[in-house]
């Protein structure tokens, strides 16, 4: 496992695109949190701001994990670029020719996704701790809603799992990015909208990406909570659906890579 990750590190450490995307991602997260916490960025009128500026430990995890989620697509795009590059330059073949088993190539990519998920979650944790302390909270209160960090980690695995699976099947960078963006934004929103019709049940809550997005809902201030749908699925059902999707991506990708030609 360590050896696989060491080789993935050799591949990315000199890849400028990775560092530009990572900097953009982390920069956007910090910027949004700062703008909202300081109420420089507000949304609404007549003295009402629906952006929650509670960055004490009672609300910091709701805010920081949501805004990390909002930009998680950039990390998924990075996974697509790193994986489809291997197909474009046939380095996936070279890795196997040099002696990797096909499953080692596959697991190296999943390990990369796990590490990315952990790094982003840790960054969000550090951001939350700093904001919480700067807003006068006591560390002893830091446990309020801290489960949201775990949910964020699961969401990142889910989003990156979608990206990885698309990359394994489509193999072309541009095509995989377009399909990912089309699915992640208009298509899932359409499905979610359809599901609000009682005749179609609640399936929209459990579409591939929404099943994790539901774990990190928009952090409305208490006064605006009325905007949420009345009958939301529980966190545990969202979590179970997310884990099932992650397991499905793992098995589907493994089947694809172990069978057939490269």
Partner 1 sequence: MANNILSISNISKSYGSIQALKNVSFDVPAGSVFGVLGPNGSGKTTLLAILLNVLQANNGSYSWLGGLPPDEARRQIGSLLETPNFYHYMSGYDNLAISAAIKKRGANDRDRVLGKLGLLERKHSKFQTYSLGMKQRLAIAGALLGNPSVLVLDEPTNGLDPVGIAEIREMIRQLNAEGITIIMASHLLDEVEKVCTHVAILKRGDLLVSGPVDEVLSAEDEIEIKAADMQALQAAIASMPGIKIKSANGLLQITGTATPAQVNEYCSSRGITLSHLLLKKKSLESKFIELTN
Binding stretches for partner 1 (CB under 8 A) = 3, 6-7, 10-11, 14-17, 85, 89-91, 93-102, 259-262
- Pick 109 or 148: Cβ nearer partner 1: 109
**Are 83 and 180 in contact, with CB atoms under 8 Å apart?**
no
Which own/partner contact pairs does 36-43 have at CB distance under 8 Å and 24+ positions apart? 36/63, 36/67, 37/63, 37/131, 37/135
Q: How far is the CB of 139 from partner 1 (least distance, A)?
A: 42
Q: Please say which residue, 15 or 218, places its beta carbon nearer to partner 1.
A: 15
Mutual angle of helices 16-37 and 102-134, in 10-degree steps: 30
- Residue among 14 and 231 whose Cβ is closer to partner 1: 14
Helix axes 60-70, 102-134, angle to 10 degrees: 140
Task: Give min distance, CB of 140 to partner 1, in A.
Answer: 46
How far apart (Å, rounded) are the C-alpha atoms in residues 76 and 243? 17
**Which of 207, 206, 187, 204 shows the shortest CA–CA distance to 195?**
204
CA 197 to chain CA mean position, Å: 27
Phi-psi region of 159 (alpha: psi -120 to 50; beta: other; left: phi over 0): alpha
Question: Could you tell me the smallest distance in angstroms from the CB atom of residue 27 to partner 1?
Answer: 22
Q: How far is CA 46 from CA 28, 50, 220, in A?
A: 28, 11, 17
Select 103 or 189, whichever has its Cβ closest to partner 1.
103
Cβ distance to partner 1 smaller for residue 12 or 34: 12
**Short-list 115, 76, 28, CA closest to 212:** 76
What is the smallest separation between the CB atom of 166 and partner 1, expressed in angstroms?
Answer: 21
Q: Is the Cβ of residue 90 or residue 203 nearer to partner 1 in the bound state?
A: 90
Min separation Cβ 23 and partner 1, Å:
17
CB of 252 to partner 1, least distance (A): 18
């Amino acid at each position: 496992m360590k050896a696989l990750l060491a080789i993935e590190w050799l591949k990315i450490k000199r890849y400028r695109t990775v560092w530009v995307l990572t900097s953009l991602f982390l920069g956007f997260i910090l910027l949004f949190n700062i703008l909202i916490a300081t109420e420089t960025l507000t949304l609404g009128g007549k003295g009402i701001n629906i952006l929650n500026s509670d960055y004490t430990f009672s609300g910091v995890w709701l805010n920081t994990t949501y805004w990390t989620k909002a930009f998680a697509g950039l990390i998924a795009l990075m996974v697509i670029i790193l994986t489809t590059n291997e197909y474009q330059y046939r380095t996936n073949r070279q890795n196997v020719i040099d002696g990797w088993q096909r499953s080692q190539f596959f697991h190296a990519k999943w390990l990369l996704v796990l590490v990315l998920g952990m790094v982003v979650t840790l960054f969000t944790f550090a951001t939350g701790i700093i904001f919480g302390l700067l807003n006068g909270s006591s560390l002893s209160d830091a446990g309020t809603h801290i489960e949201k960090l775990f949910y964020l980690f699961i969401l990142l695995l889910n989003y990156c799992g979608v990206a990885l699976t698309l990359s394994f099947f489509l193999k072309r960078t541009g095509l995989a990015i377009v399909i990912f963006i089309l699915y992640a934004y208009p298509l899932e929103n359409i499905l979610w909208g359809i599901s609000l019709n009682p005749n179609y049940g609640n399936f929209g809550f459990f579409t591939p990406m929404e099943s994790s997005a539901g774990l990190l809902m928009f952090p409305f201030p208490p006064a605006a909570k009325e905007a949420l749908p009345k009958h939301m699925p529980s966190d545990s059902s969202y979590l179970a659906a997310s884990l099932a999707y992650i397991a499905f991506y793992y098995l589907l990708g493994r089947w694809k890579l172990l069978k057939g030609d490269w």
